[in-house]
Every structure is written in structure tokens, then in C-alpha cells.
């Protein structure tokens, strides 16, 4: 898994047991090479439409994914021949489920990955749901259903580049992208400080909330749409932010306000879900200031990392795509039409034999 933040390639080796239990054998995280970040961000934001960059990144990412697989296997005593498949989400460049025709694009050449590793690959998970009229996101609520007892309810909050929630009630799932997670904060501090992210929210904590800017951001129509819905960096990017900066606020005040935008939109969605317990995962979970603001806005709701459910919160998405790969190999549906809006259940993914 390499998420919309393009900060790292996360790999996890997972065994799915017959009783439904999940065993994490090993995990590995590799920082995204600096030379790949700039073209990924340019393509995500629409600053570039260079087909050469798309093709080059497709091949180069597969090489880095293969290296991550090799590093993961080296941490274990598992034989390469005993691995059923690699579930490869790939790197999202564009996600436009509301265009006509709708489309989504994840790169990281699955043919090359199978060739380099000698392991069957399952990839291209999202486009079948798009073809069936769905948003193709979020996909992991279907996996979250397997982590919650049939008569229990819980909400899951993922804070990656884009934030999304899953709500599980009585064995039924719902969920959607709530809006920006880390993407705007990361882009803003990259522009002004040359840093990849705001560690623990320290820069945002030094700023003051700009109520006028927050109100302008919250007026974006996306936040007022009903689910199913999903979004990406092609909508929420620095060009979007710049159009709203009618004044000249201090950069740290903008960072503080961007953090509040993520906290407000995520917590509002969680409160409306009616869940009494929230499980968190994703890179934004390490932003102490952001998590404190979300907890403040949620009041007395219980907020815990997904490790309480037996899944490392830093590798939840990678584990979910391992599950989706297994669903594909077993010929079972991977989407939840109630979440994505697809016309029905579909087997997601394409098998690329070793």
C-alpha cells in the first residue's frame, strides 16, 4: 500500500485463518523515494498531465514495491513459494468517480511486480466498482465488518492524505471520505518549511485559528453532499486553498486552520454516525494536536487505535488489501454497494499470475 500522501510504501504479511482470525506475521515500511514524490504530487493535483511521467512512475513504483516485498520476506522464515499472492493497491494518481465517464487510476505495474517477485499479484482493485456505478472508495469498510462482532457497532477513522470513516452497525457497513486528512497540511508545510509533514502538529499549534478561512473552506459543496461520496488530491489541493486565501494570513495560522478543517469534518461525520466507540488508524493518528482536537470535538466518545482489534493501525490499509486480494482469489465480492453506491456486489481485483 502506498497511500494518497505518497509518504511510504507499507507492506504486511498476513495469514487468514479458517476461524476468521488474522495473524500478522511481519510488516515493513519503506519511505517513498524523494525523486518520485514531486511527479506524483504534480499528477495528483493536476499541475501535470505528462503521460511520460505516468508511464515512468508506473514502472519505477513496481520496482520499489518489489524491493519492499523482498525486505518483508527477509524478516520471516516464510518461503516465497508459500505466499498465495501479493495484494497491490498501487499509487493513486487520479480519482474522479463523479466525472462522466467516471474513472480512477492507480499505478505500479502489476505485471512487472509479478515478474520481479515470482509471486502472483492481485491488483487493480478499484476500477470494477467504478464500472458498476460506484465510487470505488472507501473499500475497506467491507473488511472492517469482519473485525466487529455481528451485534456490535463501531466506527473507524482513517486519517491518510484523505480522511474516511467506516460505520459498522448490526453487521451492516456505511462509510465515505470526510475530506482532507493530511494532504493539505502536508502540502502547506512542504511549501513553507520544506518539510514532508508537521510532526505532532507542532507548527499548527504555534498558529491561531482563522475562523473566516475555516468558514470558507467548510462551504465547499463536497462537505454538504450525501454519501456515497469520495474525493482526492485532484480536488483538495493547494490551488483549491489558494483560491480561498483572500487575505494574507500568517502561514502558521493557515496550518492551524487546515488542521481544524480535518478535525471538524471527521468529528462531525463520526458524531452523525451514532457510534459510541471509534477506532483510528493511518498516518494522521501520529499528529498529537490533530487527535486531541478530534477527541475534544467528539466529547465523551471512546477513541482507540485499531490495535485493540488486533490490527496494527499503521498497517490497517495494507492488511485490508491483503484481505481484498484473498476475496478475489476466492471469487468473493470485495465491495459493499451500500458504501460505494455500486449497482451490486462485485469481485474486485485482477489476478496477474507469477
From CA 22, how far away is CA 20, in angstroms rounded?
7
Q: Is the pLDDT of residue 20 over 80?
A: no
CATH 3.40.50.620 fits 8-135+315-352, yes or no: no
Instruction: Work out the mean pLDDT of the chain and round it to a whole number.
Output: 96
Q: Which residues pair with 354 in a beta bridge?
A: none
Phi, psi of 353 (to 5 degrees): -60, 150
Look at residue 156 and give its three-state secondary structure. strand
* HSE value, Cβ hemisphere, 13 Å, CA-based, for 118: 6
From CA 61, how far away is CA 71, in angstroms rounded?
15
What average pLDDT does the segment 251-273 reach?
A: 97
pLDDT, one tens digit per residue, over 188-214 is 999 999 999 999 999 999 999 999 999
Q: pLDDT at position 276, please?
A: 84
**Of the candidates 42, 37, 317, which has an alpha carbon nearest to the alpha carbon of residue 159?**
317
Q: Is the pLDDT of residue 150 over 90?
A: no
Tell me the torsion sign for CA atoms 312, 232, 322, 318.
negative
Q: pLDDT at position 21, please?
A: 86
pLDDT, one tens digit per residue, over 97-126 is 999 999 999 999 999 999 999 999 999 999
Contacts of 207 (CB under 8 A, 6+ apart): 250, 251, 252, 253, 254, 255, 256, 257
From CA 42, how far away is CA 47, in angstroms rounded?
5
Q: Are 207 and 71 contacting, i.e. CB atoms less than 8 angstroms apart?
A: no
- pLDDT band (50, 70, 90) for residue 19: confident
Contacts of 168 (CB under 8 A, 6+ apart): 141, 144, 145, 148, 152, 153, 154, 155, 156
Q: Are 175 and 270 contacting, i.e. CB atoms less than 8 angstroms apart?
A: no
What average pLDDT does the segment 142-168 reach?
A: 94
User: Cell 493530511 belongs to which residue?
Assistant: 182
Return the percentage of the chain with pLDDT > 70, whole number: 100
CA 325 to chain centre: 17
Q: Is the pLDDT of residue 221 over 80?
A: yes
Q: pLDDT at position 18, please?
A: 83
Q: Are 41 and 187 contacting, i.e. CB atoms less than 8 angstroms apart?
A: yes
**Of the candidates 350, 346, 340, 323, which has an alpha carbon nearest to the alpha carbon of residue 147?**
323
What average pLDDT does the segment 81-97 reach?
A: 97
What average pLDDT does the segment 60-70 reach?
A: 98
- pLDDT band (50, 70, 90) for residue 347: very high
Q: Are 287 and 313 contacting, i.e. CB atoms less than 8 angstroms apart?
A: no
From CA 323, how far away is CA 78, in angstroms rounded?
19
- pLDDT band (50, 70, 90) for residue 239: very high
- Tell me the domain boundaries of the chain: 8-135+315-352, 141-309
From CA 262, how far away is CA 180, in angstroms rounded?
6
What average pLDDT does the segment 145-166 reach?
A: 93
Q: Are 292 and 53 contacting, i.e. CB atoms less than 8 angstroms apart?
A: no
List the binding residues: 3-10
Q: Say which residue, 18 or 100, is predicted with more confidence.
A: 100
Residue 157 corresponds to which cell in the numbers above?
A: 477513522
From CA 161, how far away is CA 6, in angstroms rounded?
8
Strands 22-31 and 8-16: antiparallel
From CA 319, how far away is CA 87, in angstroms rounded?
9
**Of the candidates 98, 94, 5, 91, which has an alpha carbon nearest to the alpha carbon of residue 48?**
94
Q: pLDDT at position 319, please?
A: 97
Topology (CATH level 3) of domain 141-309: Nucleotidyltransferase; domain 5 (3.30.420)
List the binding residues for ATP: 3-10
Q: Are 294 and 267 contacting, i.e. CB atoms less than 8 angstroms apart?
A: yes
pLDDT, one tens digit per residue, over 23-37 is 999 999 999 999 999
Phi, psi of 255 (to 5 degrees): -60, -40
pLDDT, one tens digit per residue, over 43-55 is 998 889 999 999 9
Asked whether the domain spanning 141-309 has the same topology as the one spanning 8-135+315-352, the reply is yes
Q: Report helix, strand and coil shares of the chain as percent, to nearest 5.
A: 45, 20, 35
Look at residue 78 and give its three-state secondary structure. coil
Amino acid at each position: 500500500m502506498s497511500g494518497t500522501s505518497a509518504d511510504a510504501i507499507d507492506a504486511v504479511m498476513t495469514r487468514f485463518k479458517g476461524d476468521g482470525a488474522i495473524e500478522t506475521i511481519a510488516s515493513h515500511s519503506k519511505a517513498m523515494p524523494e525523486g518520485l514524490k514531486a511527479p506524483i504530487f504534480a499528477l495528483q493535483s493536476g499541475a501535470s498531465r505528462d503521460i511520460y511521467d505516468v508511464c515512468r512512475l508506473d514502472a519505477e513504483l513496481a520496482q520499489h514495491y518489489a524491493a519492499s516485498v523482498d525486505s518483508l520476506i527477509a524478516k520471516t522464515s516464510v518461503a516465497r513459494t508459500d505466499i498465495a499472492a501479493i495484494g497491490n493497491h498501487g499509487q493513486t494518481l487520479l480519482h474522479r468517480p463523479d466525472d462522466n465517464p467516471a474513472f480512477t487510476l492507480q499505478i505500479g505495474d502489476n505485471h512487472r511486480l509479478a515478474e520481479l517477485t515470482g509471486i502472483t499479484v492481485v491488483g487493480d482493485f478499484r476500477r470494477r466498482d467504478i464500472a458498476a456505478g460506484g465510487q470505488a472508495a472507501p473499500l475497506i469498510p467491507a473488511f472492517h465488518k469482519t473485525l466487529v462482532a455481528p451485534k456490535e457497532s463501531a466506527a473507524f477513522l482513517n486519517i491518510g492524505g484523505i480522511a474516511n470513516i467506516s460505520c459498522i452497525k448490526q453487521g451492516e457497513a456505511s462509510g465515505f471520505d470526510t475530506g482532507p486528512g493530511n494532504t493539505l497540511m502536508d502540502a502547506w508545510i512542504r511549501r513553507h518549511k520544506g518539510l514532508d509533514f508537521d510532526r505532532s502538529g507542532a507548527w499548527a499549534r504555534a498558529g491561531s485559528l482563522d475562523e473566516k478561512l475555516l468558514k470558507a473552506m467548510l462551504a465547499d459543496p463536497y462537505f454538504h453532499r450525501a454519501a456515497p461520496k469520495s474525493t482526492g488530491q485532484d480536488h483538495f489541493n493547494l490551488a483549491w486553498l489558494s483560491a480561498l486565501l483572500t487575505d494574507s494570513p500568517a502561514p502558521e495560522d493557515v496550518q492551524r486552520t487546515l488542521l481544524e478543517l480535518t478535525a471538524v469534518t471527521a468529528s462531525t461525520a463520526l458524531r452523525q454516525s451514532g457510534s459510541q466507540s471509534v477506532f483510528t488508524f493511518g498516518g494522521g493518528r501520529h499528529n498529537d494536536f490533530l487527535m486531541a482536537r478530534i477527541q475534544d470535538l467528539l466529547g465523551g466518545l471512546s477513541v482507540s487505535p485499531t490495535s485493540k482489534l488486533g490490527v496494527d493501525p499503521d498497517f490497517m490499509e495494507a492488511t485490508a488489501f491483503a484481505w481484498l486480494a484473498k476475496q478475489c482469489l476466492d471469487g468473493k465480492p470485495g465491495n459493499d454497494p451500500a458504501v460505494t453506491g455500486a449497482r451490486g456486489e462485485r469481485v474486485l481485483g485482477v489476478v496477474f499470475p507469477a
